Amino acid sequence: MPRRFAATDIGSNTVHLLIGEVTNRGSIRRIVNISEWLSLGEIVGKTGKIPSVDSAHLIETLRRYKRICDDAGVERFYAFATEAMRVAENHSKLIAEIKKDLGIKVDLITARRETELSLRGASLDTPLQGATIFVEVGGGSVQIALCREQEITYQASLPIGTGRLLASTGLFQPATGAHLNQLIAATRAQWEACPQPSGKATVVASGGIARGIMRALHPDGERLIQLFELEYLMKSVAGLEVSEIVRRYRVKEKRAGSLLPGTIVFHEMMRHYGQSQFLVSEYGVREGAILEMAQGGVTK
């Protein structure tokens, strides 16, 4: 019988639950794959902390996820938090409250650890051979890693997640020219501080923002994104209200609001590295955590 594991990712945009079965071949069959959009990255970007109302929303979401895991009979349940929780000034108090109320230990993982798990998850559907530029854009930060044969040679966490950019620029839709210039300048300055890989490299992207862009551009599921497609999407959504983005690109309302900053982050990344395309993985940090759980690599 396949072993069943659960990973909950308290991210900067969503709080996500994945229950998966690890097969004998090392792949993952998704049993439950749900998320709740809390926008913690944008909230922390504005206030510096996670306010009580949002803390209560998070705790209730985790309570529901724990119930789902209990009903599903998972072997192990692992909860971890990333950038929004890392930078929130009240994260220690909130993590202690979650432990007291729910009996759930939340692991506050480092940016490096987040990248390692994401790489492992992405390897399920993407060949990570030779030199790779690995990018994961979240709500609070962007993880960038230069890799060779899945070994990280350079890693950084850039403070240009979509929620953080929304908080710092006050972006609204349709976007003004001033807002666009602000977004481009903020992202470009961060990318220019990143070193170039040695030799030719391919770009692989993971995470909800990359998948949102992929689904907006390619409803058929094609995972390869071209630079000219990003440029088209960026110009298109800049002039639209959120409701029109939802209708035209068939994305959820919350995802629609992050489409423009996410597209700009990826566009500036491609400009910096001189790339014309990148490949989007359907897997990432949660799948990486489940694979490690199957081998006893994370604590309960």
Identify whether residues 75 and 197 lie together within a single domain: no
9: phi then psi, degrees, rounded to nearest 5: -110, 110
| 177, part of any domain | yes
pLDDT of residue 299: 60
| 104, part of any domain | yes
255-293 confidence digits (pLDDT tens): 898 999 999 999 999 999 999 999 999 999 999 999 999
Look at the chain and report how many structural domains it folds into: 2
Which CATH number does the domain housing residue 90 bear? 3.30.420.40
Q: Tokens at residue 10, please?
A: 């308290």
Which CATH number does the domain housing residue 174 bear? 3.30.420.150
Identify whether residues 97 and 233 lie together within a single domain: no
pLDDT of residue 188: 96
pLDDT of residue 3: 85
40-51 confidence digits (pLDDT tens): 999 999 999 999
| 299, part of any domain | no
11: phi then psi, degrees, rounded to nearest 5: -95, -175
| 119, part of any domain | no
- The candidate with the shortest Cα–Cα distance to 242, out of 174, 144, 168, is 174
Identify whether residues 25 and 68 lie together within a single domain: yes
Identify whether residues 86 and 153 lie together within a single domain: no
| 120, part of any domain | no
| 117, part of any domain | no
Identify whether residues 98 and 163 lie together within a single domain: no
Identify whether residues 38 and 138 lie together within a single domain: no
State the residue range of the domain holding 169. Answer: 125-280
179 compared with 213, residue with greater pLDDT: 213
| 35, part of any domain | yes
Identify whether residues 186 and 251 lie together within a single domain: yes
Identify whether residues 290 and 274 lie together within a single domain: no
Identify whether residues 211 and 160 lie together within a single domain: yes
Identify whether residues 22 and 167 lie together within a single domain: no
User: Picking from 109-113, 137-141, 150-154, 176-180, which range would have the lowest pLDDT averaged per residue?
Assistant: 176-180
CB distance 153 to 227 below 8 Å: no
What's the average model confidence in pLDDT over 24-53?
93
| 116, part of any domain | no
pLDDT of residue 1: 66
Identify whether residues 132 and 268 lie together within a single domain: yes
Percent of the chain, pLDDT > 90?
A: 85
Identify whether residues 260 and 193 lie together within a single domain: yes
What's the average model confidence in pLDDT over 175-202?
92
